[in-house]
Amino acid sequence: MGSRDANGNSIGDSSVSDLALGELNDVSHAGGVGVDQVLFPTREAYHGLVLRLKESGFEMCADLCAVDFLTHPGRALPDGIRPERFEVVVNLLSLSQKRRVRVRVQVPESDASIASLFDVYPGSEAMEREAYDLIGIRFSNHPDLTRILMPEEWEGHPLRKDYGSGRVPVQFKETPGPR
Amino acid sequence: MTTIDDQEVPMRVIERPAWSAKETSEGPQELLERSGTPDEEILREAGGVLRLPDGHVLDAGQIDVERSDDETMIINMGPQHPSTHGVLRLMLELDGETVLRTKSVIGYLHTGMEKTGEELTYVQGATNVTRMDYLSPLHNEAVFSLATEALLGVEIPDRATWIRTLMLELNRVSSHLMWMATNGMDLGSTSMMIFGFREREMVMSFFEKTTGLRMNNNYIRPGGVAADLPDGWEDDIDILCETILERTFEYDQLLTGQPIFRERTEGVGGLLAEEALALSVTGPLLRSTGVPWDLRRTMPYLAYDQLDFDVLVGTYGDNFDRYAIRLGEIRESIRMIRQILEKMPTGDYRVQDPKVTPPPRGRIDSSMEALIHHFKIFTEGFKVPEGEVYAAIESPRGEIGCYIVSDGSSKPYRMHIRGPSFVNLQVLPLLLRGGLMSDAVACISSVDPVMGEVDR
């Protein structure tokens, strides 16, 4: 394992990846619509699962975003997965196997934090910053968890459902009075 | 005289008080001095991307992290710099003229389009997303429409699929021409800029004829396209293909073989395939490193599986490879457009599903039901079944993805766009590191960022 190249050895080894994914299906839950496979790990298992997915041939983290399910709690989830307010959705891409897998992790409101994928996929850095900025998920072990799209002194996380577009006055530095 | 807290204070320009600097400060979003930055972040800003789980790449000997702050200088480039293609702000740490660290500060064009997308119905959604990547608006619309259609489960007619393919390829041509123009300008070739804009204008005119607008077309919509192709479109496309193809050979004469251009691009901004994959880089940047990954070929959508085209890859991953790939892709797109011209089927340009398609204009005047139906679709929109979907297509800049969560209403519960240039920008510290300040401009250009999509 120690000598494994960042991606070189894992590309094109389909038997290994099928085995690994088969195992993953037992420990987590697969389901969802569309052609992509969807995995629902727990928050604790998330980082390890992504690491194993990378080792089994998913070379690229195509997308990472967060969703606030505050006003839509009754979404369809597999048995045994307790819906929480936030969800972090990671789309991984395997170039060698030409397929995608989606990892959806429940993140509770009381402790909106999750492990950063930066050490697995350095390319998730900006996407995690965006999720932090707009939804307010904190990624532990992220090297530079600052706002990325909003100004640094902005209050609140705009893509949260309780943020309310049109109600909160636009915050500019010269804005007089209380916000 | 200036007023601070109602007191008049004499001020000279050189005395910039702390509050004045704070007006434009982005705080920790900016590139900070080495002493105040964790090692991990310094390494990232210096372009170190390949981290193995055991972390032995974090060896300070490989990257000069221990340099002290007073040896180097941090300067600002942008957000209003002519070569940053919009409002990209780069902070560079320089040693003389050599770039050591880079950090991009973005968000100057952020308008909350993902939030807006949650407020608009699926019918209106295409109008919103088309404004993200303003150089390839049709790709935004297409990916949004494909995601919506996947949730709806509708099959769009053949002709609509082929019209979409045609328009997307035309858009790729216009976007790459625009890139050739700005890249030429960044490297000092103003003729290329004029030429690029001139040829792009042909495509823009065709878009105007077909969609009514040059940009932000809102032409590709869930359920098909907004209108059929205009009469005589075949002739327009014929002339367009012939002219632009011929002129790409003029670009060859102007730039490809030109010693000064080659000198400035070859071996500059080198990128390895492993680094590109680790940084989630897609599009011409990824292909320039030799990875033959093009969603049109590897995960075909629309009519791309019935078209004959080559996926162009580079060898060295430098700026010249990226130039050559984009120039070649213009030619490949024209090759595809010519095939589409022959294969264009007849039929409907949008799906005849009363759930998503408004009734034809003629029936609104004669039928009360049609009028109500029309009114309902444009006020309430159509309901989309509950679910979530991720659709991705190959835009001129790379993989543009659309993740939609639907709660069963007529508005997306969450609409997230994976912007290719937003992700690709992460490669800048790597491309710029160790290079000269003057090459930085060429490297930014070769990433081809569109700030409308980076900031959304």
Q: What is the pLDDT of residues A128-145, one digit of tens each?
A: 999 999 998 999 888 888
Is residue B413 within 8 A of residue B396, CB to CB? The reply is no
Helices (H), ranges, chain A: 14-27, 43-55, 125-134
**Percent of chain A, pLDDT > 90?**
17
Is B131 within a domain? yes
What's the domain range around B173?
122-455
Place of tokens 């009514």: B212
B380 token code pair: 């309430």
Is residue B451 within 8 A of residue B106, CB to CB? The reply is yes
Q: Do A32 and B274 touch (CB under 8 A)?
A: no
| Number of domains within chain B | 1
Could you tell me if A98 lies within 8 Å of chain B, comparing CB atoms? Answer: yes
Is B83 within a domain? no
Q: Mention every residue, 6+ apart, whose C-beta is less than 8 A from residue A133.
A: A147, A148, A149, A150, A157
Q: How many CB pairs under 8 A join A and B?
A: 144
State whether the Cα torsion A76-B413-A126-B38 is positive or negative.
negative
Place of tokens 């959304």: B456
pLDDT value of residue B241: 92
Is residue A89 within 8 A of residue A68, CB to CB? The reply is no
CA-nearest residue to B51 within chain A is: A119
Reported confidence tier of residue B185, pLDDT bands at 50, 70, 90: confident
pLDDT value of residue B253: 87
Cα–Cα distance measured from residue B428 to residue B103, given in angstroms and rounded to the nearest whole number: 8
Reported confidence tier of residue A119, pLDDT bands at 50, 70, 90: confident
Q: Which fold has domain A14-110?
A: Beta Polymerase; domain 2 (3.30.460)
Cα–Cα distance measured from residue B129 to residue B157, given in angstroms and rounded to the nearest whole number: 23
Could you tell me if A102 lies within 8 Å of chain B, comparing CB atoms? Answer: yes
Q: What is the pLDDT of residues B270-301, one digit of tens each?
A: 888 888 888 899 999 999 999 999 998 888 88
Q: What is the pLDDT of residues B97-117, one digit of tens each?
A: 888 888 888 888 888 899 889
State the complex-level ipTM: 0.83
* CATH, residue B206: 1.10.645.10
End-to-end CA distance of chain A: 54
Nearest of B326, B256, B258, B314 to residue B289 by alpha carbon: B314
Q: What is the mean pLDDT of chain B?
A: 84
Residues of B in contact with A68 (CB under 8 A): 414
Is residue B422 within 8 A of residue B397, CB to CB? The reply is no
Q: What is the pLDDT of residues A77-108, one digit of tens each?
A: 877 788 888 999 999 988 888 888 889 999 99
Residue A126, SS3? helix
pLDDT value of residue A40: 87
Specify the length of chain B in residues: 456
pLDDT value of residue B55: 42
Is B63 within a domain? no
**Percent of chain B, pLDDT > 70?**
89
Cα–Cα distance measured from residue B203 to residue B308, given in angstroms and rounded to the nearest whole number: 22
Residue B113 CA from chain centroid, whole number: 15
Q: What is the pLDDT of residues B352-388, one digit of tens each?
A: 887 888 888 888 888 888 888 888 888 888 889 888 8
Residue type, B45: E
pLDDT value of residue B66: 54
Residues of B in contact with A152 (CB under 8 A): 25-29
Query: Residue B446 above 60 pLDDT?
Result: yes
Cα–Cα distance measured from residue B148 to residue B434, given in angstroms and rounded to the nearest whole number: 45
pLDDT value of residue B431: 87
Query: Residue A73 above 70 pLDDT?
Result: yes
The b/e string for B405-437 (b: 16+ C-beta within 10 A; e otherwise) is bbbeebbbbbbbbbbbbbbbbbbbbbbbbebee
pLDDT value of residue A17: 37
HSE-up of residue B14 (Cα within 13 Å, Cβ side): 0
Long-range contacts at B38-42 (CB < 8 A, ≥ 24 apart):
B38/A143, B39/B65, B40/A143, B41/A143, B41/A144, B42/B101
Q: What is the pLDDT of residues B299-348, one digit of tens each?
A: 888 889 899 999 999 988 889 999 999 999 999 999 999 999 999 999 88
CA-nearest residue to A173 within chain B is: B23
Is residue B117 within 8 A of residue B405, CB to CB? The reply is no
pLDDT value of residue B140: 93
Q: Give the highest mean pLDDT range of A163-172, B20-29, B395-404.
A: B395-404
Helices (H), ranges, B252-379: 259-265, 273-278, 284-288, 295-298, 319-343, 361-366, 368-379
Is B347 within a domain? yes
Query: Residue A167 above 70 pLDDT?
Result: no
**B57 vs B364, higher pLDDT:** B364
Interface test with B, best of A72, A154, A163, A173 (most B CBs within 10 A): A72
Cα–Cα distance measured from residue B421 to residue B281, given in angstroms and rounded to the nearest whole number: 9
Is B2 within a domain? no
Interface test with B, best of A54, A55, A60, A75 (most B CBs within 10 A): A60
pLDDT value of residue B239: 92
| For chain B, the helix, strand and coil percentages under 3-state DSSP, each to the nearest 5 | 50, 10, 40
